[in-house]
Structure 1
């Protein structure tokens, strides 16, 4: 639910990503946006497959959200985050409640991976202003409803607290968060934007030959002095290279993020046709012809979108393979980034051997892992024959009283390679 004044400025309707996740994109000043995401996570008793599916969908939605957007996540995550702020630095504040459970680990992992922070644990206040749900049997209050923001936008959060006096006819308490969104100021550039030449075209042998021939012609047709100065030589060389690059290579265009943005005009035309059919259907829902026309437009739209997406993936695969064959590693990794997106490396904290010190430095963490594996594999272990005899042997499943010897097994393998095998102590020859 939003105010009517906000609904009038929305550029798109709320999006339902699944039965547990939906989002709304609000326009701000200076062409900025704030994405509000609402989530309802599975309970602690739910199956692990259902939990993994929910957090996988949540990761997908968050990664598809533009990085420049202000992110506000409201949700009942059915998770207890605990109070270990040192282990989850940046994602969990120092004023948590209770102990962490399995759902809390899943929530904190996605917070650390995607640079999110739990605003409920940032402010020091009474527990009754932080806890949101009371267990029906133990009658203990827990914090399971959260408001998450990006860690870089944590300074915009003025206060997050529970409203105990609000009656919502539910066993959860209302949570309120006050945020002062500060739009970025408009940056004024000093001059026109600089254009970049499309150097990737030099990977083609034909373009490289044309570039060399054009540059050679400019040098031969240059009627300069017999013994020009160094400054004049440099000016002529610079002018020839820049002109040849502009004529042969051209300028690089702005790179789109994915296949949807790259085909924005075509997709918008398809969406316009579908929306027109939808409005016609809503004008008279009982008309079977209009309903059939709307379903047909939806089917055609899905087919064309799949075709556009498949064509984009095919072209990207051809480009990636061409870059790999020609040794263009820059273009190869740019193609990979367009598929996977930018990666954010998160260094997980580690405790010392005695468990008293929390290691955050990369060097100390690597030293602790080295110490752990040296201790694990450096100990001389004694294996007793009785332990080996307790291991069930495969031939016992065939009805043998005792396992065959190594010589007997070798003889069987040799005969199997020849196409026949003799019987050994009760094993029929066909086995």
Structure 2
């Protein structure tokens, strides 16, 4: 059974929990003024890790478009910005590894609103991060923003726990006579127009302004503010699907590794062939499964999987300067002397310039090193290495947004709706209507010349050998995860055993079930 408001797909596709039962989740909110500078994302991620924050809403990112990116530090960021390539406004949600694994779906609404939904045990969590117009903005801009926010809140799942973070650009004041349900007694200032709009919206949606529940030491919205929320998140059991495994085939360049791999392949094949021989199953299926398991299990044991090498281009000296800048900022916020505060402001500006110069030098050194490695790879030539370095140098990140548009142009982001839309799309693209005048056996068509060029005899070992030799290295494997390098590492074993498989296919006139499955890779196109 499912709880109210919870679909069967969500139960079957539960993801890794963000927190354990009876523990807390830490959520932050920060107006960073811009992420569109070298090193800013890394600095924000470092501060998030230092404060042990799981989810952080970020305002004024100044990034354009919509994208989901896993940064080098391991955190995941989703952001939504303007579509006209103007670097203003922009909102984002930065997630720790634990939080990103609990992410169900996310919706980039516009440059001021972004929504993310997370799994929990008893009630799911919806986080809406916003960047409201300033008090001086035109009434039309404010009306459009709050109308769009109301629409987003209406469309969310009503059974979720809702948390709205962001830069509200509002003063709600200390007078709570009309809004006792939504305010505490620690509001600041005098309520302005934005504050009135915020209170009306919270009153309508039965939300509480948590910033008024406890005394505030500062009134700035450009500092990181954190809170803790108790959640009971449920573990997700990942859907059963065929996942390809990438093996460390670079080790096959070593002669000793190749020798050990070949010995292990022959030994494992004999063991598996004896184990599978007595099973009541078609010969084709049995031979195919034995060959696949022989290669995959041996590759897992001998080669293993490649380790990802992620090295930040920011040097330790730059991080040290950034820490010193943070310490100066802390002293500036804590001091009550205007004279000392003025001196600290000057020190902060000087240290901030040092940080920016250091980051700029680090970036230049990093680019120069990649350019030198690219030139060396071109002279070698190692085209695969050259392509990888060029892609890194161009900083072209893959577009990984999972949101789609339905036939009516409406944005859809939930997994069930996205899968249904892809199914509908490929059914229309790949399926064709029957021809009106199909060719039959009785039609007189001159095909003798074509038939003469096609061999209809049983496949020979020479044909298998030629086919294996033509396999190109560096190509992506199929669903069985067997690459050309694994097959070509041993010359005699694959020729003999694959030839026997081909003979069985020829005799029984059927192919293995796994050969009937394929992978469809979607490649998003750039908008022109």
Greater gyration radius: 1
Asked if these proteins are the same fold (TM beyond 0.5), I'd say: no
Q: TM-score normalised to the size of structure 1?
A: 0.37
